[in-house]
Amino acid sequence: MEWLNAVVQGVLLGGLYALFATGLSLIFGVMRLVNIAHGDLIVLAAYLALVVVESTGMNPFLAVLVVVPAMAAMGYALQRFVLNPTLGEDPLPPLLVTFGLSVILQNALLGVFSADSQRLAAGPIETAGFALLPGLQVGVLPLLMFGVAVLAIFGLETIFYHTRFGRAFRATSDDAETVRLMGLDNRHVYALAMALSAAVVAIAGIFLAVRTNFDPASGPARLIFGFEAVIIGGLGSLWGTLAGGIVLGVAQAVGAQISPGFQLLAGHLVFFLVLAFRPRGLFPRMDG
């Protein structure tokens, strides 16, 4: 039963990793941009949620009503005025700009909030749980995170394949120059994609703040987990990203069951094996 419990907890943890990874996958799918600052944006959202909760006293999960629009607006502005001018045939300039943005965010958060770790208290839901089977306890918060991850990916899939915005995203991803010649502003489309990514980042940041301690230097680890989930699941596949998050979460949970020191290494080893034998991931998007 201990091993089954480890697998179940790993699956639920995979929901959080999927939230980390979904925005990363979305941006790469639309504009082939690897956002090095993605993890730091998650931490920024966590701090924003902390400020909102401490200044208003509202429930952390209601803070989503403030944090999501704020992060989406920031994402739009960031793409439109900072990243769009760097996009082109050479992938290096946007990579360097997002790296610089990562450094700036970390140091800005350090200057404002200090290096002390923070935590967002959410009340009884943090420890609430129920018995799924005798000896198998499931936490309400991990289950909520997993459910929100599924809903977020379902919502993005619906936007991508059943809306006018989705058609614009897919067309711009396929051929940005032709789309621009047909009168569609690809810079606006890219900015909308980043806004959508930042909205998901905001949700991930709130769950991060509730689930564990965080500090200004927490971003790179979140980026690594998100990047590994994207690669394991398959580039360009949102449902694959969820599967990648689950695989990574289960690997870490099983590794921790073997030895606490093996937890993170187990996840990295699974990532390495997938990268070596299935470079396109376990469930890559099938075009055409």
Residue 133 main-chain phi, psi, to 5 deg: -145, 165
- What is the pLDDT at residue 286? 55
CA-nearest of 224, 242, 220, 221 to 233 is 242
Instruction: Give yes or no for a contact between 23 and 194, defined as CB atoms under 8 angstroms apart.
Output: no
Residue at token pair 């924003």: 48
pTM given for the model: 0.92
Rounded CA-CA distance 138/122 in Å is 17
Per-residue pLDDT 10s for the chain (288 aa) are 788 888 999 999 999 999 999 989 888 888 888 899 999 999 999 999 999 999 998 888 999 999 999 999 999 999 999 999 998 888 889 999 999 999 999 999 999 999 999 999 888 888 888 877 777 888 899 999 999 999 999 999 999 888 888 888 888 877 777 777 777 888 888 999 999 999 999 999 999 999 999 999 999 999 999 999 999 988 778 888 999 999 999 999 999 998 888 889 999 999 999 989 988 888 876 554
Strand duo 136-139 + 129-133: pairing = antiparallel
| Beta bridge pairs of residue 131 | 137
Rounded CA-CA distance 48/43 in Å is 9
Half-sphere exposure of 192 (CA within 13 A, CB side): 18
- The 3-state DSSP class for residue 62 equals coil
Q: Residue 79 carries which DSSP code?
A: I
Domains for the chain: give ranges and CATH numbers: 6-113+139-277 (1.10.3470)
- What is the pLDDT at residue 150? 95
- What is the pLDDT at residue 288? 40
- What is the pLDDT at residue 287? 52
Contacts 24+ apart (CB under 8 A), 271-279: 271/228, 271/231, 271/232, 274/231, 274/232, 274/247, 275/231
Query: For the residues of 229-281, what is the DSSP string, one character each?
Result: HHHHH-TT-HHHHHHHHHHHHHHHHHHHHH-GGGHHHHHHHHHHHHHHH-TT-
- 277: Cα separation from own chain's centroid: 25
What is the SS3 string spanning 189-243? Answer: HHHHHHHHHHHHHHHHHHHHHHHCCECCCCHHHHHHHHHHHHHHHCCCCHHHHHH
Helix, strand, coil fractions of the chain, as percent rounded to 5: 75, 5, 20
Residue 131 main-chain phi, psi, to 5 deg: -85, 115
Residue 204 tokens read as 């991930």
